[in-house]
Chains A and B, each alone.
Chain A
Amino acid sequence: AQSVTQPDIHITVSEGASLELRCNYSYGATPYLFWYVQSPGQGLQLLLKYFSGDTLVQGIKGFEAEFKRSQSSFNLRKPSVHWSDAAEYFCAVGPGTSYGKLTFGQGTILTVHP
């Protein structure tokens, strides 16, 4: 069965600092991987996704993520955090088919200090 682990429940960074959110997955085949962001009271917004090809993927709002098969990881990074990035971030794995359920990590809450 597929699973996702986000080891950090809560991360606090200063505005302008770099950010890395960790995600480890378990999946038997080539995974489809996603990062979503959720602001308070809002739904989930897709930041970026990985299906195949280049292991470094670029997303919206200046985020990027790197797929590392050897480490079963898909960590999210941003070189300089803005106060508006404060939100909850979810990593998810999907099946290797055209559709199917997503399995989400527990989420990481990001707090940004001015």
Chain B
Amino acid sequence: GAGVSQSPSNKVTEKGKDVELRCDPISGHTALYWYRQSLGQGLEFLIYFQGNSAPDKSGLPSDRFSAERTGGSVSTLTIQRTQQEDSAVYLCASSSGQGRSDTQYFGPGTRLTVL
């Protein structure tokens, strides 16, 4: 079946602009995660959604970052007033959200470059 997809694959923006990154999880997966991968910080957790529960936003680095998940499926990560330090690869993952052997499957990522 289809895996996790993300769009766009690359995004170049100017400092101060807003950007939206999209994630389509594996069909039927109730849990969805966003991570950020940067040279200085490695792989960092940002936020996750599980079903209808309130999202865990504990990893968001600032209030410029937000995410939503519509209809329990597609998710959008929004970064407002982008800064150069936001340049990174943003990875989305999904999992079934059930059972003790839950496993996250990752998309190819969106490479964000802030000029």
CA distance A27 to B3 in the complex (A): 30
Tell me if B108 and A101 are in contact (CB < 8 A): no
Which positions 85-115 of chain B face chain A at CB distance < 8 Å?
91, 93, 95, 97-109
- Chain A neighbourhood of B103, CB < 8 A: 34, 46, 49
CA distance A44 to B105 in the complex (A): 8
Which listed residue, A46, A51, A104, touches B105 by the CB 8 Å rule?
A: A46
- Chain B neighbourhood of A31, CB < 8 A: none
Chain A residues proximal to chain B, CB less than 8 Å: 34, 36, 42-46, 49, 51-52, 90, 92, 94, 96-107
CA distance A97 to B113 in the complex (A): 35
- Chain A neighbourhood of B91, CB < 8 A: 43-44
B31 lies within 8 A of chain A by Cβ: yes
Tell me if B109 and A101 are in contact (CB < 8 A): no
Query: Can you give 12 A-B contacts (C-beta < 8 A)?
Result: A34-B103, A43-B108, A44-B91, A96-B100, A98-B97, A98-B98, A98-B102, A99-B97, A99-B102, A101-B56, A103-B45, A107-B43
